[in-house]
A and B are shown apart, each in its own frame.
Chain A
Amino acid sequence: MKPPPFAYHAPRALAEAVGALAEAGPDGKVLAGGQSLIPLLNMRLAAPARIVDINRLTELDTVEVTERGVRVGALARHSRVLRSIEAARAQPLLTDALRHVAHPVVRNRGTVVGSLAHADPAAELPAVLAVLGGSVDAMSAGGRRTIPADAFFTGPLESALRPGELAVSAFFPGLPPYGGAAFGEVTRRHGDYALVGVAAVVVLDDDLRVASARAGYLSVGATPLVLDLTEAAGRRSPGSCDWAAVAAHAESLVDPETDIHAGADYRRHLAGVLTERVLRAAAANALERGEP
């Protein structure tokens, strides 16, 4: 369990990092928190010729909270984002989901943007970014571009990032007034990748009826799955909504796979159970947040 040889770059400026990645092309790999890359290297499942370590780029260690939402820089650790009261206020779903990311030691090193770039469909943050309709900003020698979440996750451990590109930040839109969110997952052990996880956002209209109900799923497919359940919920008040029926509808739409930890049928069942739980919680959260 020792990595194969690789060239190591530790740039001190963003431009230098982008330059190194451009030079490395498809042979380059970015090292941020290292919580996924280092095990892959040690097990010799990945053998990049060049590693660009961005841990000295402190300019990327940022959490910016505005009325629009939360922008997280590429070097911000899970634990830092989790501790941000402003971020929790603007987008509680991000904080809720971060609590489910592994363990404190992993959260102290792992980065939010790194988790997105790794694009593991069993991870919490890709589903959160997807259900919120967020985006990732990428920089390369050719310039900067914004990639919306629905275009970012292209397959298991595959993203729209191109060789030579560095994901510099991610943007998580904030919750509108009368918007509520909740996250739930079932894991085998505390902190494990979820068998199934669901992130839900419910937005109410001025009459406190459901205007939008969306759910993002992890561990049910190759990429995060987002279901718009607004129609299934109907334009009812949260109290009169048949959330069980909405969940049953969602359950019929997910198509998870069997692995060594859980069968497809059980995962589908969990998707239904969790959908009902988090939709109810998100709707309750929306009512709470809407109260003056």
Chain B
Amino acid sequence: MSGFGEPIARREDPRLITGQGRYVDDLGAGALAAAFVRSPHAHARVVDIDVDAALDVDGLVAIYTWEDLPGRVGEPLPLLIPHPSLTHGRTGHPLARDVVRHVGEPIVMVVAEDRYLAEDAAERIQVTYEPLPPVVGLREAADATRLVHDDVPGNVGAHMVQEVAGEGGADARAAIDAAPHVLEFRLDIERSASMPLEGRGVYARWDTDDGSLRVYSSTQASTSVRAAIAARLGLPPGKVEVIAPDVGGGFGVKIVHPWPEEVLVPWAARLLDREVKWAEDRREHFVSAAHERAQVHFVRVGFDDDGRLLGLDVRILHDHGAYTPYGIIIPIITSTQLLGPYKPGAYRVEFTSLYTNTVIVTPYRGAGRPQGVFCMERTMDRIADFLGRDRTEVRAVNFIQPDEFPYDQGLIFQDGRPLVYDSGDYPELLRRAKKLIDWDGFEKARTEAAARGRRIGIGIAGYVEGTGVGPYEGGHVEIDTSGRVHVSTGLTSQGQGHQTVFAQIVASELGVLIDDVQVTTGDTRRFGYAVGTFASRAAVMSGNAIALACRKLRDKALRIAGEALEADPRDLDITDGVVHVRGNPAAAIPLRTVAVLSNPLRYAFDEEAKRATQFAVSGSMDDPPIAPGDEPGLEGRDYYSPPRSTFAAGMHAAIVEVDPDTAEVRVLKYAVVHDCGRLINPRIVEGQIHGGVAQGIGGALYERMVYDGAGQLLNASFMDFLMPYATEIPRIETDHIETPSPLNPLGIKGAGEAGVIPVSAVIAAAIEDAEGIRIDAMPISPDEIFRLRQRAATGDAELLKRSRGRPVPS
């Protein structure tokens, strides 16, 4: 069996792992190559651009600056997600006009016969800059003694407050003031990035005679890229095709669109009437794509003797870099998803989103949730330490209970809809996580390790993730006359396994063999209406749309088969692609024949087709061959549009060892209990979790964006940006529970981002537990642990309550 729920192997892997993948840079071998002159300054005025020396390079085709861009091509890039609180949204131009605001901002596009020559020419272009004072880091941004944009006072792009009253109507600040216990602290998360192994890339072909454009882009949103290109280039959407071929990872960064290059490359291809391609290199990706995560959080919490939250007040400073093309989705998600599986009592959250002269900040897997979970779970750990209680007990008293769903947190979520949790069982997640990591046996393990001179610690953290945000996705399913099932959906794939899970849904819904099912994603030639792949939404949105399309197709197939078999469609079943009367396998007709019959023909192009021609079919001579309201062909198309998000959840726990001498951290054990509703394919869900946890460990222990005071990114390479290898990732134990979503026909919830979300919180808790020293900033390196130990030795670091008065670890 290979239907819904089966842990089958990924069908796309044999192709991808034997080098048969087809990525943007595998296409267009004869295309011209584009390269860009990018700003070496974080903030500067472009005074002059001298291209004379570049003109000597053989093979140079064209050089473009902003002055060359006509009409809408040169306009500022769109602000994709406007929001009333984003009062000072700003976006860059495709090529810089006058002022550059981060290192890596594109200034000149060079087109040449190949990329080598394009880089040779780019190197010879002399740009004269008048450096301006840069704003780097949240402190400088908030101080606002220098401005990133002259017309944005205080560097403040957005400011937003959400507030929910507690029991009795008390606001959060009053509830905290009245609480028996109050804690107040600051928590920091640094910058990281999606960092897909394939960078961005665009390849464009203009067909002069047809007046049409085909664009291949390594994107997470091909339909919207098409809309953007059509608008900028003044082409009818029907004359623009955008295809996301195989995409080597996205993790959020490729949802941003149109990137400057996505406008410029197609524009140049049309202007030059030549194929043009740009494949981003790694250094470009570091300085000109997007980053995420950097936020500072000021938390104030009031609670009772049991650790029950009475009031929570969080102020957030969000660093959104030089521009805001993707709006303020990240701090909105942090603000709302911070609450996790808990009831906060009264809650107030306020964020200020600030400009800095650094690369733009847009969602990266988790998208603001890792920061929110870090706040809430560090808060839980602090309360437990303050009260001297087990950390899991404090969490348990604050849980939303299984009988309280749907549970309204009283906030507005990132989709503009109420933050209402649809289903879940948080106590069960905790129970299983404790079992999987052996929480109750840990003190014994700690003592035994200590006897051997080893220092270990344990941490736990939970999260709730709003997945499957709208507005919609669609699915189209068609069975051809050879019985093959062609499935398409408009959203894109970046390696998630859509070829497998969507086919499993189709196999189950239609009763066909999975080997007969072919899935196409992200190709506007096949499906023109779509939103994109982000927010753990593909399975929920397209999965349900495809299921609904299958149900339409199935109804039609049974109706036609019923006529052919002279049977009531309600008595029919489909098994292995054959429609048959239930209980009478002899009365059967294959779907491929149903497909023939579904399309009345005048011309018999083959033997099978004869059965559908006008002299072969019987029926009333007074009825039209196609009944009113019916359509030729055996296909179904439908859309799924949810009222609001569906909420997945999980609980992670880890045991780490910290070397008493070198402060190196090793994750000894990592456990995940996960609930994404009904599982389409447990194996793929586990793969998603493993990848997410690996990225989370990267964010917790290795990866950071090191900017110096001048706004230079000092580690813009894989040598110095420490993405973890397989050698840094422990074995990950997983367990699942399934609380089906009542919101969608398949009862599923998203799983794509889950793995990464709580990892920094878990690892911080475990290191803190091992060291007995408070951890309030992530990521953390051995050097920082070493310095924390030194500070603890001089009384300059906060110790856990349980370790106060004890000898400080050396």
Binding site for B on A (CB under 8 A): 1-5, 39, 43-44, 103, 186, 188-193, 195, 260-263, 265-266, 269-270, 273
Contact = CB atoms under 8 A, between A and B. Distances in A.
A188 B787 CA distance: 16
Nearest to A2: B116
B781 interface: yes
14 contacts: A4-B120, A5-B120, A39-B719, A103-B725, A186-B664, A188-B702, A191-B727, A192-B722, A260-B714, A260-B720, A263-B787, A266-B786, A266-B787, A273-B661
Contacts of B786: 265-266, 269
Interface in B657-697: 661-664
Contact of A270 (B116, B662, B714, B725): B662
A192 B718 CA distance: 11
**Closest 5 interchain pairs by CB?**
A190-B727, A1-B281, A266-B783, A2-B116, A262-B783
A270 B781 CA distance: 14
Given A39-B719, A261-B783, 4 more contacts: A2-B115, A186-B782, A190-B728, A266-B783
Interface residues of B, number: 30
A44 to B, nearest CB: 7
A263 B791 CA distance: 15
Contacts, number: 66
A194 B221 CA distance: 41
A2 B279 CA distance: 12
Contacts of A192: 722
A260 B727 contact: no
Contacts of A3: 116
A262 B790 CA distance: 15
B51 to A, nearest CB: 18
Given A43-B283, A261-B720, A263-B787, A188 B123 contact: no
Given A263-B787, A270-B662, A273-B662, A190 B722 contact: no
Contacts of A39: 719
Nearest to B701: A188
A190 B662 contact: no
Interface string B720-764: 101011011000000000000000000000000000000000000
B119 interface: yes
Contacts of A261: 720, 722, 781, 783
Nearest to B660: A273
B726 to A, nearest CB: 9
B715 interface: yes
Contacts of B725: 103, 189-191
Nearest to B728: A189
Nearest to B280: A1
B120 A189 contact: no
A35 to B, nearest CB: 12
B782 A44 contact: no
Interface in B112-132: 115-116, 119-120, 123
Nearest to A184: B662
B282 A1 contact: yes
B706 interface: yes
B706 A260 contact: yes
Q: Which of B661, B715, B787 gathers the greatest number of chain A CB atoms within 10 Å?
A: B661
B283 A1 contact: yes
Contacts of A190: 725, 727-728
Nearest to A44: B123
Q: Which of A191, A195, A266 gathers the greatest number of chain B CB atoms within 10 Å?
A: A266
Contacts of B283: 1, 43
